[in-house]
A and B are shown apart, each in its own frame.
Chain A
């Protein structure tokens, strides 16, 4: 695929890695925010190529991992209703709720369908006027415009049997929360490239300045990630803390104005609980009042749900980079990919799932710990 494969070319990695090695003089801890970046790092084993001084902390940029337990339980309750066709991205099917997941609901007779695009859910609504079609609208700012369009079209076309269960999260408040955490070790961020394709970069300079961290907008292919790391390390070594765009082919400072306009119309900012982390103020989007008729939270009364996180699960600390997965008592014992306690073990880019694989091999999943800054 053009403009994809070229950025997977191992021959071009050598130069990037050599520059990183030549530049780095002391340990640095970097966080990549986006789950897609984590996936790519694990998939291509990029962290194994880095010099020991560069540590990658996997951030909470995985909507699977951070969708609140209450929302999962609400989704499960709605999906179990006989009149509902529950449409979801594949990522969410195995996420454990309090006592089951969407796969189990399907096994018990629920009509749960995996879709590639929210437009597929719209089509299902059109083709099944006698059913209530609910779309699980999760994701970061990248997925928000597609989800917004689906609701917008449903309202415009009077598709009364279509509604969305929304749980969107925003990256900048998450970075703020991570940096405000007292035990934060993160010294530089690889910002989520496709989030910035939509939102642009104007939300980041204030963060970089306030917390004195370099923020480098980074892509997803191996060479893009190495380049993002290279530029971040360079800034750190020079004592700089600016916003830099290392993914210019897909990111413009203004982002996508048409998408941003739609987000303004369809969503409003809200406080959002992040699973395992807690409430981060202003960190989410919900449907604006104009779209209340298509809001699954209002359409379905799903009261009476008791939400309970397994006591042993420490996903939140892992998500914030405060705990390495193998330091959790449940890791590899009561919590495995087959019997996950929390989302970081379920998700293919969850830090716990990644560590589980490498740990069995006996290969360190990350270079040696960066020594405390100071």
Chain B
């Protein structure tokens, strides 16, 4: 249902009247159907499921999300790490 991975478009073409792309997934290259994202261009990223690009990946949004995670991390560093303390307590009790 849900296994989809982010890939980058390296080539776009028409094949038998179907819009197709060659996409790169960290060095793994695969043909992907672009009919649902026809204006996706070379260099852009999309989420790909069973050989179809289903949604653009918003790179700026990804960066913002990671930044949020980093900020949460800084907060917990500043104010102490309850998780690590709990984890250490669990380990000691094992």
Contact = CB atoms under 8 A, between A and B. Distances in A.
Nearest to A223: B69
Interface of B: 1-8, 16, 18, 25-26, 33, 35-38, 45, 47, 49-52, 54-55, 57-59, 61-62, 64-66, 69-77, 81-84, 86
A3 B57 contact: yes
Contacts of B82: 18, 21-22
B1 A143 contact: yes
The SS class assigned to the A binding surface is: helix
A258 B51 contact: no
A157 B17 CA distance: 10
Given A252-B55, A256-B37, A15 B75 contact: yes
Nearest to A169: B1
Contacts of B26: 1-2, 4
19 contacts: A1-B5, A1-B6, A2-B26, A3-B62, A6-B66, A7-B66, A18-B83, A49-B83, A61-B1, A117-B50, A120-B51, A142-B1, A143-B50, A145-B36, A145-B52, A194-B47, A194-B54, A195-B1, A248-B65
B84 to A, nearest CB: 7
A34 interface: yes
Given A14-B84, A16-B69, A18-B81, A119 B2 contact: no
A368 to B, nearest CB: 14
A237 to B, nearest CB: 16
Contact of B54 (A11, A17, A145): A145
Given A21-B82, A258-B35, 7 more contacts: A11-B73, A14-B76, A19-B72, A140-B2, A153-B18, A256-B36, A259-B54
Q: Which 6 A-B pairs have the closest CB atoms?
A: A117-B51, A15-B73, A36-B2, A15-B72, A1-B26, A18-B76
Given A12-B70, A35-B2, A197-B4, A146 B83 contact: no
Contacts of B75: 15, 18-19
B83 A14 contact: yes
Which among A37, A61, A259 has the highest number of chain B CB atoms within 10 Å?
Answer: A259
